[in-house]
Chains A and B, each alone.
Chain A
Amino acid sequence: MKLTFDYDKALTIVDGDVDLLKELIDLFNEQSKELLKNIEQAIEAGDAERLRNAAHTIRGALGNVGGVAAHEIGSELEQMGDQGDLKNAHEVFTRLRTEVSAFVNETATSERLMMK
């Protein structure tokens, strides 16, 4: 099981700059609804290429903030888009949305982020 929020990994990505990490997480949390909406719309429209791009985008964003569990689910969606096979996309999207909101909650209450 991958972590919802991998603080150590996220901190490595920003070379230990906690302030920058906090800014990135704030930005991600702010934009996450929009990023998820793009994916949902692509699935509803049955547009595989758009799904691939939208999933790639959120995956990139999650990779920068240590959202490893959601990152992995994003990869699944990106692959589905890439292969043009959307039959399970909705189910996977639901898991992604749950995992992203878990990430938002966990980072909002993370003591390690608040202490600095």
Chain B
Amino acid sequence: MRVLIVEDDPVSLKLASSVLKKHGYEVTGADSGKQAISHIEEEGDVDIIVSDIMMPVMDGFTMMTYLKADSRLSRIPVVLCTALNDADSVKKALDLGAVGYLTKPINPKALVEKVRAAEKGIPGAVVIVDDEDLLRKLLMKTLTREGIHTLAAGSGEKALELIENNKIALVISDIKMPMMNGLELLVEIKENDSSIPVFLMTGHGGEFSKQNVLAAGADGYITKPFRNTEIIRQVKPYIK
């Protein structure tokens, strides 16, 4: 789990990051809302944000308003830190969609609790596995536009790596791929964690029928070329 801490005071930043690292989180720091947004837009690798409110350049409220207005970023849960007894800020934080708040000075136990709670609430990602760049991108775009968090894998091996390191709602994999094919990937995923749903997709009239694929243990079947609305209809129930 990757946590971005947004805090202009170096001591609070250090405190929060030491505590979270000790609890196994990967931590990055930013010293303003502006830096946080550039980080997310450039690296895109953040699961949870813990942010101060009062900061120069861009404060926590402005940053949240920006994130919530962007369908690709609005899914990232934000925990805001407020001064003690600042009821107005707490209300504003929650109104803007913060999943929780902490009062300063930050208490390590409370910090870990809030981050864990935020982690539980994160909707899992959809992993899209296809060796064909174009199709993978097309599918990602279709789902991302619906506000669904997607992760891309160009191979079965890469998909397994992503599954190990992320919270996963669903895997959609092509069948025909070099090295590990979709059916092998399916077996591998289910062996590790049978609760992860897997859809397989094949080209029209390919060698695998819907019955074959479902018999092999897949949770769903998609025929290429796919229709956007059909894909979304099938995927949505898996996004909690």
Contact = CB atoms under 8 A, between A and B. Distances in A.
B203 interface: no
A53 B56 contact: yes
A13 B55 contact: no
A50 B11 contact: no
Interface string B52-92: 10111000000000000000000000000000000000000
Contacts of B56: 50, 53-54
B11 A60 contact: yes
A86 interface: no
A67 to B, nearest CB: 10
Interface string A53-75: 11011101111110000000000
A27 interface: yes
Contacts of A28: 10-11
Contacts, number: 59
Contact of B10 (A15, A27, A54, A56): A27
A64 B54 contact: no
B18 interface: yes
Given A14-B15, A24-B15, A31 B108 contact: no
Interface in B1-50: 7-12, 14-15, 18-19
Contact of B55 (A50, A53, A61, A62): A53
Nearest to B16: A64
Interface in B187-226: none
Residue picked from B12, B15, B52, B104, most chain A C-beta under 10 Å: B15
B106 interface: yes
Contact of B11 (A17, A27, A53): A27
Given A23-B18, A53-B54, A13 B11 contact: no
Please tell me the size bucket of the interface on B. 20 to 34
Nearest to B14: A27
Contact of B108 (A14, A50, A56, A57): A14
Contacts of B107: 13, 15
B12 A61 contact: yes
A92 to B, nearest CB: 19
A20 interface: yes
Given A15-B109, A50-B56, A53-B56, A60 B14 contact: no
B105 interface: yes
B9 to A, nearest CB: 4
Given A14-B108, A60-B52, A20 B15 contact: yes
B105 A63 contact: yes
Contacts of B12: 60-61, 63-64
A63 to B, nearest CB: 4
Contacts of B52: 60
A41 B112 CA distance: 36
A17 B106 contact: no
Given A15-B109, A53-B56, A63 B104 contact: yes
A77 to B, nearest CB: 14
B18 A20 contact: yes
9 contacts: A13-B106, A13-B107, A20-B18, A20-B19, A57-B8, A57-B9, A58-B9, A60-B105, A61-B11
Interface of B: 7-12, 14-15, 18-19, 52, 54-56, 104-109
